[in-house]
Structure 1
């Protein structure tokens, strides 16, 4: 099962350049969370701080009982075994075939025999849909297959936390949709805590249970998907609806004069789409009933929310949809 990550008062800078400061939030155990933000806001740097590849200027990262920035080297080594990391480009060894790439962590970090390693590797390859590609080199497979091979390698040590850095970069929309469904299915099956860093708004709107936005050297907002997607906060509204009007500019943030020139532009958030469900129709433990957060906080959903491609309203037809998906096929 997944474990909770608590981040308290985190600050990171490189020389005089402050990346972010006073970042505080909790990544819930066993849920899928996504972290977004304009380019250059330190999303990948944040992941490196979580696993101790970089150390913050100050603050805490609690993973279980350990505070990552204060762990000794041997303790840090053991703590990292609780993580599985999918790097942005897959980070496969070009001279090794897919099988050996996936087996690498087992050979490096365990004393398992080759028979047991083969069983585990084949199990993870089946999970990510790579059965039959064992003997191929990374250069002989597509970008999407390399991502899935990197994901299989991240899973072989049965991690409690899975970090994915821009998993959809370089993928076409169809492969991105397949990868998103795979994340949902794996979370349902493994119960691990997922944190996904992405630029893809389509992914962010349908995949995670929780969303966060980094901007202006800090965390603007983090919370349940419906809370963030219904927010009228200027930066959140602009980013998650991909609009030009707002405090985010082409390079960095706009200055106040630019914002003033735009006037008091305030657009309604876009409709909130239904959240992805596992392929087998199960409801994940962390998946909330559509509209639940909005009802509880008396927030009116944007018009057209929770309507799927078949025209069904998931807020009013949820019980029927769940029953339909659970029927044998």
Structure 2
């Protein structure tokens, strides 16, 4: 099972350049979290701090009672075994075939026999849909297959925390959809805590249990996915709608003059897109971290964007979401208009 990761007051800079400061969040054990943010906001730097490849200026990272920022190299080496990491390009050794790439951590960090290594590698390759490709070299396969091979390697030591850096980088939307489903299925199978860094808005809208947004050298927000997906913060609306107009500029945030020019031009940001139903495991079962659709909005008195929690046209209703809503006894908020495009899902009986 996954473990909780608690980050408090984390600050990182390179020389005089502050990357982000006073970042605090908790990754709930066994749940999938996503970290969003414009390019250059230090999302990958945050992952490197989590596993101790970089040392923060101040703050703490607590896992199983250990503050990683204060551990000796020997102890940090042991705690790192809790992690599996999928890098942007898979980070495979080009001269090794897929089998040897995936077996590498087992041979490096354990004393398992080659028969045990083979059993584990075969199992992980089947888990990510790569059975039968053991002898192929990284240069002989597609980008999506390299990602999956990197994921299999990240899983061979049975990690309790899986960090994923830009899984959609270099992939088309169809392959991105496949790998998103794979993350959800793996989370269901192994129960690990996942943190996915991404720019892909569709991934953020459907995959995670929790979402965070890095912006202007700090963590703008972090919490249940409905909190961010229903937020009226300008930076959130701009990011989710992929618009030029708003506080995010080409390099960093826009200056006051640019924002004033947009205001005088009468530009109004489009409304937030509807909150999609959460992606379910392939077997249709309820996710470990799943909450009833609209539960956070209801509990916090927030009206979700119109059309939220509805299946897309031509898609059958989500039985898993319905079962989860019914088992929780969740009902429509009192006093709401009975409009299917606005109302949260209802539970009859």
Counterpart of 2:15 in structure 1 is 15
Q: Number of residue pairs matched? A: 323
CA RMSD of aligned residues (A): 1.9
- 1:252 corresponding residue in structure 2: 252
Deviation of 1:242 after TM superposition, in Å, equals 1.3
* Displaced runs of 4 or more, over 6 A: 320-323
State the Cα distance separating 1:319 from its structure 2 match: 3.2
The yes-or-no answer on 1:117 pairing with 2:117 is: yes
TM-score by length of 1: 0.94
Aligned partners of 1:27, 1:152: CA distance in 2, in Å?
Answer: 22
| SS of residue in 1 equivalent to 2:293 | coil
Please state how far the C-alpha of 1:268 moved relative to its aligned partner: 2.2
1:301 maps onto 2:301 in alignment: no
Q: SS at 2:213's partner residue?
A: strand
- 2:142 paired with 1:142: yes
Residue 172 of structure 1: aligned partner = 172
Q: Does the C-alpha gap of structure 1 residues 322 and 112 become closer, same or farther in structure 2, counting only changes over 3 Å?
A: farther
Unaligned runs of 5+ in 1: 324-329
Find the aligned partners of 2:256 and 2:318 in 1 and give their Cα distance. Answer: 40
Q: How does 1:75-224 map to 2 (within 5 A)?
A: 75-224=75-224
The structure-2 alpha-carbon separation of the partners of 1:92 and 1:322, relative to structure 1 and needing over 3 Å to count, comes to farther
Contact kept, 8 Å, 1:269 with 1:302, in 2: the verdict is: yes
How far is 1:240 from its partner? 1.8
User: Aligned-pair distance for 1:267?
Assistant: 3.6
- Secondary structure of 1:6 counterpart: strand
Residue among 281, 293, 301 paired with 1:290: 293
Q: CA 1:220–1:321 in structure 2 vs 1: closer, same or farther (change >3 Å)?
A: closer
Q: Which residue of 1 aligns with 2:58?
A: 58
Partner residue, 1:273: 276
Instruction: State how far apart, in whole Å, the 2-side matches of 1:320 and 1:41 are.
Output: 36
**More displaced stretch, 59-68 vs 264-273:** 264-273
| Conservation of the 8 A alpha-carbon contact between 1:314 and 1:321 | no
**Residues 82 and 159 of structure 2 are in contact (CA less than 8 Å); yes or no, is this contact kept in structure 1?**
yes
SS of 2:94 mapped into structure 1: coil
Task: Tell me by how many angstroms 1:318 deviates.
Answer: 1.6
SS in 2 for 1:286: coil
Aligned to 2:339: none
Do the aligned residues in 2 keep the contact of 1:306 with 1:313 (CA within 8 Å)? no
SS in 2 for 1:33: strand
- Measured in 2, the distance between the counterparts of 1:24 and 1:153 equals 29
Secondary structure at the counterpart of residue 34 of structure 1: strand
- Residue 11 of structure 1 aligns to a residue whose secondary structure is strand
By how many angstroms is 1:304 displaced?
Answer: 1.0
TM-superposed CA distance for 1:241, in Å, is 2.0
Unmatched runs of 5 consecutive residues or more in structure 2: 328-349
